[in-house]
Amino acid sequence: MFSLTRFGMKTLGRLSRGIQLGWEAGFDSGRTLDYVYENKPQGFTPLGRAVDRAYLNSIGWRGIRVRKINLQKVLRDAIQQTHKEGRPVRLLDIASGPGRYVLEIIREQSQIPMSALLRDYKPENVEAARRLAEELGLKNVTMMLGDAFDHGSLAAIKPKPTIAIVSGLYELFPANQPVSDSLRGLADAVEPGGYLVYTKSGSPGPLGTALDSFGLPAKSSLLPSENMDQFGPE
């Protein structure tokens, strides 16, 4: 069954913009997630657009869009709380992809002064985030390349962020040590009393479900959510 789905993804699927992008950039890439958030079916020929619509409506991608809404809600609360406490709002996202969910919230909460640093290890994502910030008319956002698992480069971030975000990252990596290094880097980076907003997936989670339902072999490499729980506050 999976090989049939996979075959379909490689043949008919090529007519769909989203599936083509998945093969090109990765089905778990920042660009694919951004396409899923945008949720505007595109494709070659009406058949291609119909396949794309079905792809975007699959259960896993619907879950990813719900996750974005929940993430934005938590982010909004953290921003308002930080501001209410009279502290500066300085956001840091360590693997932002194009960062649509953060950038939309910065624009929505424009009455609160804030700055943001968006990092990703792929130049194409840093560039996409820069373009999107420009499109949204945001000035106080900086983008840069950076490794989300490098303790030293996280710990050295200045000025110290007050809200750190990790979305759709840790669950992609099966090994505990890099996640632990990253969290320790964030603990050193974030101002005391700041917030960490992160997503964690149950097994297989929305991304795992999406990849799984297209016959793509990512589920086995996802970090189970129980592994995340052992990194609670020390």
Ligand X SMILES: C[S@@+](CC[C@H](N)C(=O)[O-])C[C@H]1O[C@@H](n2cnc3c(N)ncnc32)[C@H](O)[C@@H]1O
Strand order in the sheet with 114-120: 141-145, 114-120, 89-93, 163-166, 195-198
Residue 8 has phi, psi (to 5 degrees) of: -60, -40
Q: What angle do CA 60, 21, 134 make, to 5 degrees?
A: 95
115 sits in which H/E element = strand 114-120
Nearest CB to ligand X, comparing residues 34 and 52: 34
Q: Does 168 bind ligand X (CB under 6 A)?
A: yes
Cα–Cα distance between 18 and 41 in angstroms, integer? 8
167 binds ligand X (CB under 6 A): yes
The C-alpha R_g of the chain, in whole angstroms, comes to 18
Using rule CB under 6 A, residue 208 touches ligand X: no
Q: By Cβ distance, which residue is nearest to ligand X? A: 30
Tokens of 193: 């009393």
d(CA 148, CA 130): 18
Q: Which of 29, 82, 201, 209 binds ligand X (CB under 6 A)?
A: 29
String of contacts with ligand X for each residue 53-92, x by CB under 6 A: ----------------------------------------
Q: C-beta of 122: minimal distance to ligand X in Å? A: 4
Tell me: does residue 44 bind ligand X (CB under 6 A): no
Residue 129 makes contact with ligand X by CB under 6 A: no
Strands (E), 187-229: 195-198
Instruction: Tell me if 212 contacts ligand X by CB under 6 A.
Output: no
DSSP-derived secondary structure for 139-191: -SEEEEE--TT-HHHHHT-SSPPSEEEE-S-GGG---HHHHHHHHHHHHHHSP
Residue from the set 22, 30, 60, 204 that interacts with ligand X by CB under 6 A = 30
Q: Which stretch binds ligand X (CB under 6 A): 9-17, 146-154, 190-198, 222-230?
A: 146-154
Is 116 near ligand X (CB under 6 A)? no
- Verify binding: residue 122, ligand X, rule CB under 6 A: yes
**Contact between 95 and ligand X (CB under 6 A)?**
yes
Query: Does residue number 43 form part of the binding site for ligand X (CB under 6 A)?
Result: no
CA distance 40 to 160: 37
Q: Please count the residues of this chain forming the interface with ligand X, following the rule CB under 6 A.
A: 17
Closer residue to ligand X (CB): 61 or 149: 149
Note whether 120 binds ligand X by CB under 6 A: yes
- Tokens 């750190």 correspond to 164
Q: Is 96 in the site for ligand X (CB under 6 A)?
A: yes
- Interface residues with ligand X (CB under 6 A) are 28-30, 33, 95-97, 120-122, 125, 147-149, 167-169
